[in-house]
Structure 1
Amino acid sequence: MGSQWENFLCNLGEWRGSFTGVSAAGELLESTPSILSLESDEDDRLVRFRLRRFGPEGYDAEPIHDMAQDYRSLGRQVVFFDNGTFCKGTLQVSPGSEFGAEFGFVDGDRRHRLVQLHHSDGSYKQAVLIREFRSGTDACEQPFCSPASLTGEWQGEAATISADWPEPTRSQSSFRVSLTAASSLQMNSVVGSEAIDRSITLQNDRLGIVPGEQTSTLQWLPDGGFLIRPDRVTHRQSFVVEAGWLPSPDRLIRLIRRYDASGAWQSATQVIATRS
């Protein structure tokens, strides 16, 4: 197990991609091309970050947004796993403050990132999907995620990092997805001793409703991604946010971020699974 910093270094390189807004209804909004670079210096003790975003003219024009930052350390709000995959977000949900979480998946020459945003009253706002490809490679985008993409039995290993202990706890994980009717999907997830069963009513090819004490929504995404998020977050009730990505048809990476009943970030889990 590498250190958080060593895991961060798995993201080094130049990544070309795009930022695409995704509405609460699952509609794809405006998309802007991007180039993100992470370069190491001082024997890997320093990482130089630069993000350029471009207008409709694309990469050949001057960027409409150019931001640079140097990193020598990492904050508590972000955790990195062995393969460079990471999860970060708000540490404490509080009244009148916006809530956000980012899920960053890494696999070879691909990165698939998703930012989840909520308004200051806790209601869901939108997501931003970031599809990135290592410059100079032939890495390609995955198909739009769907119930058929996930249906089946998945087995793998989970690594959980808690808010008060940076070393991961490892456990076995299983994930079963089945269509129980034309518009009904069952998801059964086991991570260590934690089991979550979800009965999802599919609304269309973009959304599903997850009923319960706190209603959540499943969003299907381009590039083999999906998001399960509460329709509202609050500091008075525990909740879970989850994103997943299929870097290939039979390989699944899930990121799960948990908040307790006071709205405090509790832990983050990465699950890497293959279809049985």
Structure 2
Amino acid sequence: MASQWQNLLKNIGEWQGSFTKFSPEGQQLEDVPSILILEGLQDNKALRLTLNRFPQDKPPYNFTSEFSSLNRSMLVFEDGAFSKGSMQWSPVSEFGGEFGLKTDNERLRLVQLYTGESQLQSITLMREKLAGTSPPQRPILTPEQLIGEWRGEATTLYRDWSSDRMATHLKIETEGRDRLSQTLSFGTGSAVKTLRSTAKIEGSRLHFEDSEQPYQILLLPNGASSNCPTTIAPRKRFVLELGWLVRPELRLRLIRSYSDRGEWVHSTLVREEKQR
């Protein structure tokens, strides 16, 4: 198995895109063009990250950082996907997570930020492509694109860098004009677990109110989706998640899971295909 550092090296390149900020209700607040360059140093024993952002009517923003190790709050998967963020939730401090999904010449990143009062503050979506490439343009994700039966595999990385894999089965169905249900099964044999939930559809927002920790899925441009609670309640397990419909029949999901004590326990990458 490749090391965490070797996995991160798969993100080397010049990534051209934008930072698009949304309110918790899905209203676009700003869209800022960006160029992020990740380059290897010392025969890839170190990395330099250079971020340039070009806001309208403001001076360009530039940030440069060099590093040779990973933060303990970050886990990187074999394909270069990564999750990082707060290791512990607290009801009196700011909290958040960042996600990155990757294909050969595209990346989709997402940042979810919470206030010190545990309220979702903002969501920032970053759509990036390698310089010199022309990936396909995808519309805003719709509930209709999610309807169906999805089968795949989940890879979970733990904080000690151990891992496991399991099969997944997700079935999403409509319930009337403004509701949908999803049934998620994962595991094998007698260890299979099944979770069922229902959501109310309100435009680009799916409200799941019947789970242990109520949450919303916000449908975003480029086939993206943001899944997280709008308010984090004490003593309840919860997840933060980025989804990406790469193709009509292929969806990636990256999940950061927290215990009922607010402690980050692991990150999971799901690759699932729609069944015909």
Q: Amino acid of the residue matched to residue 42 of structure 2?
A: E
In 2, are the aligned partners of 1:175 and 1:189 still within 8 Å (CA)? yes
Asked if 2 retains the 8 angstrom alpha-carbon contact of 1:242 and 1:254, the reply is yes
Aligned counterpart, 2:205: 207
Q: Return closer, same or farther for 1:195/1:77 CA change in 2, 3 Å cut-off.
A: farther
Q: Distance in 2 between the 1:197 and 1:241 partners?
A: 18
For 2:53 and 2:161, locate their aligned partners in 1 and report how far apart those are by CA, in whole Å: 33
2:217 is the counterpart of 1:253: no
CA-based RMSD of the aligned residues comes to 1.5
Query: Counterparts in 2 of 1:74-223, with a 5 A limit?
Result: 74-163=70-159, 165-192=160-187, 193-204=192-203, 206-212=204-210, 213-223=212-222
Per the TM alignment, residue 235 of structure 1 is displaced from its structure 2 partner at its CA by 4.7
Identical aligned residues as a percent? 35
TM-superposition CA deviations, 1:111-149 (whole Å, max 9, x none): 111111111010111100101011111123322111111
Q: d(CA) in 1 for partners of 2:8 and 2:195? A: 30
Task: Give the secondary-structure state (helix, strand or coil) at the position aligned to 2:43.
Answer: coil
One-letter code of the match for 1:53? R
Return the TM-score normalized by structure 2: 0.93
Residue 274 of structure 2: aligned partner? 275
The separation in 2 between residues aligned to 1:135 and 1:153, in whole angstroms, is 35
Q: Is the 8 A contact 2:16 2:128 kept in 1?
A: yes
Q: Is the 8 A contact 1:52 1:63 kept in 2?
A: no
1:234 offset after TM fit, Å? 4.3
Q: Which letter maps to 1:262?
A: R
Q: Distance in 2 between matches of 1:28 and 1:224?
A: 16
- Distance in 1 separating the partners of 2:9 and 2:240: 25
Deviation digits for residues 95-119 of structure 1 (CA, Å, limit 9, x no counterpart): 3211101111101111111111111
Please tell me whether the aligned partners of residues 234 and 263 of structure 1 are also in contact (alpha carbons under 8 angstroms).
Answer: no
Question: Whole-Å Cα distance in 2 between the matches of residues 184 and 16 of structure 1?
Answer: 37
Confirm or deny: 8 A CA contact 1:41 1:48 kept in the other structure. yes
Using the alignment, how far apart are the partners of 1:269 and 1:40 within structure 2? Answer: 27
How far apart are residue 190 of structure 1 and its match? Answer: 2.4
Deviation of 1:188 (Å): 1.7
CA distance in 2, matches of 1:47, 1:196: 41
Kindly indicate whether residue 69 of structure 2 is the aligned counterpart of residue 73 of structure 1. yes
Instruction: Return structure 1 stretches of 4+ with deviation > 6 angstroms.
Output: none
Shift of residue 200, structure 1, vs aligned partner: 0.6
- In structure 2, C-alpha distance between the alignment counterparts of 1:167 and 1:211, rounded to whole Å: 33
Q: Distance in 2 between matches of 1:143 and 1:152?
A: 19
Q: Does the aligned pair in 2 maintain the 1:22–1:127 contact within 8 Å?
A: yes
Q: Do residues 241 (structure 1) and 240 (structure 2) align?
A: yes
Task: Tell me by how many angstroms 1:196 deviates.
Answer: 2.7
- In the alignment, structure 1 segments of 5+ residues that lack a partner are none
Q: Which runs of 5+ in 2 are unaligned?
A: none
Q: How far, CA to CA, are the matches of 1:96 and 1:64 in structure 2? A: 33
**Residue range with higher mean Cα deviation, 185-194 or 68-77:** 185-194
| 1:170 partner letter | R
Q: Kindly provide the amino acid, as one letter, of the partner of residue 231 in structure 1.
A: T
Q: Aligned to 1:236, what secondary structure does the other structure show?
A: coil
- Residue identity matched to 2:90: S
* Distance (Å, rounded) in 2 between the aligned partners of 1:98 and 1:10: 30
